[in-house]
């Protein structure tokens, strides 16, 4: 199906359209299933109008055999239809799960912490669960309601009118269910997300909570959030469940009403006894999809809201295109008039930063807390996008690389180190399925962590635990350093890499930086301690988000570290073009 000019097609819609053959098959099966649903009413009609008056046992046996065969066929088709719907949900998940995961990873880098967390994954689960449940079956059966009503009219006009009135009432009840359940279901999902976020935050900060006696207070906050969630969920359930109960009672009343009308017609000799039973069964069958739809309306509303949220999210974050594959960078890093804001914020925290580094250079970034050091290096590795200026590797801006391609040439050690659940080898090798033992060990040796690893009970196969919890802070930081060095990346950026290191770790870090520079890598180190910049040859000073100085280490440090009583001499700043300014 071609998209209309100027109309953006939904990725979810495209994923469902890819399953249109399966939907056609479900529609055809629904046709046969609904025709087979007539088996019960026709069987009862024949029993009352033919078998009982004739007292023919062979006729009864023949009808039982035929009805049994048709019931089995109906059961098989119903089972196949449900399996197809379940596989449609699975197919939708398979088509979109990578995109949804990608948005979960990228969204915090664009909007900061004001994002929906894991809600996109829950939304995808909601849509898949609904497609694999009984709800879609009801919607496929609803179009057959007129057929059953037409047959009821064929039995007798009074029976048809009774069934029609019941259908109108139940369809109206469905519309009421839609309007009454929409807002409570939306509120319940929002409260559920808040409750889950609080639970995840408490789990991450368990040590802080227990050590500082915050458990009781956080427990109270959790109870309050959980109470609100339970209240919202109860309101949504009350609406859906209450209207579902009303629908069920109305359907039973309608079935009895059809029996009463049939009995009245039999008394006046306008219908046979078989029509009474057949009409009752048909009217109940005609309204069963409406009853089922109301019963599953809560899940339908949740799936629809999830669908809308996912559609908006995927439209706001389109899939990344694969740019032309560039050659690996080998010579220089250039930063041109860089200005940065935090994701989801408007305040500029780094501005007008310009410098250049050549292969083999080591840069130390220093400055007081809050001066923008970590923000700057996030731009250098492509994590945050600048609002102005460019970061270039061998002249190519970072946005000319795909994130996966760029990542092979960058080693990054963030200030807050986190390892992934798995072995030390997997973490060092960045979970690359093609990572070789030689490459992993080489990175570990360059980081000076090889001896530490082989002394562990399982060596490189040691499980680090969730978020690296099985290792000490210093061990995790050194393993993360090895991960940054894996694959001999051209640009290595280390944010406070010695914050958890002892003397031995500091020495290993210094050796690793020198080794990387000797092979032609550019190393950038953010540090608060002088030992952190021991192995670099350039220094960049940031203050209030602006570059105060950039140049050879000894010259810049002499100016920065001189006594305050001495009037500072002009600091020479070397621009990208090599021009020296005072």
**Contact yes or no for 539/533 (Cβ under 8 A):** yes
Query: What is the token pair recorded at 153?
Result: 């009219």
Question: Rounded CA gap, 188 and 234, in Å?
Answer: 8
Instruction: List the beta strands (DSSP E) in 433-515.
Output: 491-495
Work out the end-to-end distance of the chain between its first and last CA atoms, rounded to an integer number of angstroms.
Answer: 64
Question: Rounded CA gap, 353 and 376, in Å?
Answer: 9
Give the pairing type, strands 522-526 and 491-495: parallel
Question: Rounded CA gap, 522 and 496, in Å?
Answer: 16
Residue 388: phi and psi, rounded to 5, are -155, 145
Task: Tell me which residue of 365, 373, 368 sits closest to 349, measured CA to CA.
Answer: 373
Task: Tell me which residue of 103, 118, 110 sits closest to 344, measured CA to CA.
Answer: 110
Question: Rounded CA gap, 288 and 57, in Å?
Answer: 33
8-state DSSP, 259 = H
Q: How far is CA 281 from the centre of its chain?
A: 45
**Contact yes or no for 33/78 (Cβ under 8 A):** yes
Question: What is the pLDDT, as a whole number, of residue 7?
Answer: 36
Question: Can you give the C-alpha Rg of the chain in angstroms?
Answer: 35
8-state DSSP, 50 = I
Task: Tell me which residue of 137, 228, 127, 242 sits closest to 180, measured CA to CA.
Answer: 242
Query: What is the token pair recorded at 93?
Result: 């998940």
Predicted structure pTM score: 0.69
Task: Tell me which residue of 352, 332, 342 sits closest to 409, measured CA to CA.
Answer: 332
Query: What is the token pair recorded at 181?
Result: 């359940």
Q: How far is CA 347 from CA 259, 388, 415, in A?
A: 73, 13, 22
CATH for 12-316, options being 3.40.50.10860, 3.30.70.270, 3.20.20.70, 1.20.1560.10: 1.20.1560.10
In three-state secondary structure terms, 493 is strand
Q: Which residues contact 273 (CB under 8 A, 6 or more apart)?
A: 48, 49, 266
Question: Rounded CA gap, 507 and 272, in Å?
Answer: 99
Segment holding 301, helix H or strand E: helix 297-316
Can you give the residue ranges of every domain in the chain?
12-316
Per-residue pLDDT tens digits of the chain, which is 582 residues long: 344 333 346 788 888 888 888 889 898 998 999 888 888 888 888 888 888 888 889 888 999 999 999 999 989 999 999 889 888 888 888 888 888 888 887 777 776 655 566 778 888 888 888 888 788 888 888 888 888 888 888 888 888 888 888 888 877 877 787 777 777 777 777 777 777 777 777 776 776 677 677 777 777 877 888 888 778 777 777 777 777 777 778 777 887 888 888 888 888 888 787 888 888 888 878 777 877 777 777 788 788 888 888 888 888 777 767 667 788 888 999 999 899 888 777 788 888 899 999 999 999 998 888 888 888 988 898 888 888 889 999 888 888 887 778 888 999 998 888 888 889 999 999 888 888 999 999 999 998 889 999 988 889 998 887 766 678 888 888 899 999 999 999 999 998 888 777 778 888 888 899 999 999 999 999 987 666 678 898 999 888 888 888 989 888 888 776 655 444 444 444 444 444 444
Question: Rounded CA gap, 267 and 151, in Å?
Answer: 21
Q: Which long-range contacts (CB under 8 A, 24 or more apart) does 235-240 make?
A: 235/184, 235/187, 235/188, 236/181, 236/184, 236/185, 236/187, 236/188, 236/298, 237/298, 239/177, 239/180, 239/181, 239/184, 239/298, 240/177, 240/181, 240/294, 240/295, 240/297, 240/298
């Amino acid at each position: 199906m071609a998209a209309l000019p100027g109309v953006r097609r939904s990725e979810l819609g495209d994923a469902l359209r890819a399953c249109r053959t399966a939907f056609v098959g479900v529609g055809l099966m629904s046709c046969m299933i609904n025709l087979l649903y007539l088996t019960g009413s026709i069987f009862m009609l024949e029993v009352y109008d033919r078998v009982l008056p004739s007292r023919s046992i062979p006729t009864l046996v023949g009808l039982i055999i035929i009805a049994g065969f048709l019931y089995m066929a109906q059961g098989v088709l119903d089972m196949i239809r449900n399996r197809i719907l379940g596989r449609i949900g699975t197919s939708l998940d398979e088509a979109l799960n990578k995109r949804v995961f990608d948005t979960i990873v990228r969204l915090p880098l664009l909007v900061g912490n004001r994002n929906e967390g894991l809600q996109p994954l829950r939304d995808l689960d909601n849509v898949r669960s609904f497609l694999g449940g009984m709800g879609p079956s009801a919607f496929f059966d609803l179009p057959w309601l007129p057929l059953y009503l037409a047959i009821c009219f064929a039995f007798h006009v009074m029976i048809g009118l009774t069934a029609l009135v019941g259908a109108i009432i139940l369809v109206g009840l469905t519309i009421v269910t839609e309007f009454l359940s929409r807002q409570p279901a939306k509120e319940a999902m929002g409260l559920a997300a808040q409750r889950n976020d609080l639970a995840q935050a408490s789990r991450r900060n368990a040590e802080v909570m227990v050590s500082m006696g915050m458990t009781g207070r956080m427990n109270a906050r959790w109870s309050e959030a959980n109470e609100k969630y339970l209240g919202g969920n109860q309101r949504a359930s009350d609406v859906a469940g209450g209207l579902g109960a009303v629908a069920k009672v109305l359907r039973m009343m309608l079935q009895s009403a059809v029996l009463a009308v049939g009995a009245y017609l039999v008394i006046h000799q306008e219908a046979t006894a078989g029509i009474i039973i057949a009409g009752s069964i048909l009217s109940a069958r005609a309204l069963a999809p409406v009853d089922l739809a109301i019963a599953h309306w809560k899940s339908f509303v949740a799936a629809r809201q999830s669908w809308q949220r996912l559609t908006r999210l995927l439209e706001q974050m389109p899939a990344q295109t694969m740019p032309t594959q560039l050659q690996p960078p080998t010579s220089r890093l250039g930063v041109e008039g860089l200005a940065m804001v935090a994701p989801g914020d408007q305040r500029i925290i780094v501005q007008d930063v310009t410098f250049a580094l050549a292969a083999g250079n080591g840069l130390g970034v220093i400055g007081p807390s809050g001066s923008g050091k970590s923000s700057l290096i996030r731009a250098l590795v492509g994590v945050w996008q600048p609002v102005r200026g460019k970061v270039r590797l061998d002249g190519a801006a970072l946005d000319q690389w795909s994130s996966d391609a760029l990542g092979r040439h960058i080693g990054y050690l963030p200030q807050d180190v986190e390892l992934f659940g798995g072995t030390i080898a997997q973490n060092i090798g960045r979970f690359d399925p093609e990572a070789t033992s030689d490459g992993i060990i080489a990175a570990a040796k360059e980081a000076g962590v090889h001896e530490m690893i082989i002394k562990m009970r399982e060596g490189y196969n040691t499980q680090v635990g969730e978020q690296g919890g099985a290792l000490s802070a210093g061990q995790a930081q050194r393993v993360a350093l090895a991960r940054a060095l894996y694959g001999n990346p051209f640009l290595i950026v280390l944010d406070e890499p010695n914050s958890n290191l002892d003397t031995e770790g500091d020495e290993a870090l210094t050796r690793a930086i020198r080794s990387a520079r000797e092979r032609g890598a550019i190393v950038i180190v953010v540090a608060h301690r002088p030992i952190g910049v021991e192995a670099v040859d350039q220094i960049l000073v940031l203050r209030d988000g602006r570059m105060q100085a950039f140049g050879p280490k000894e010259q810049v440090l002499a100016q920065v570290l001189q006594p305050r009583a001495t009037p500072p001499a002009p600091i020479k700043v070397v621009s990208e073009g090599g021009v020296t300014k005072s």
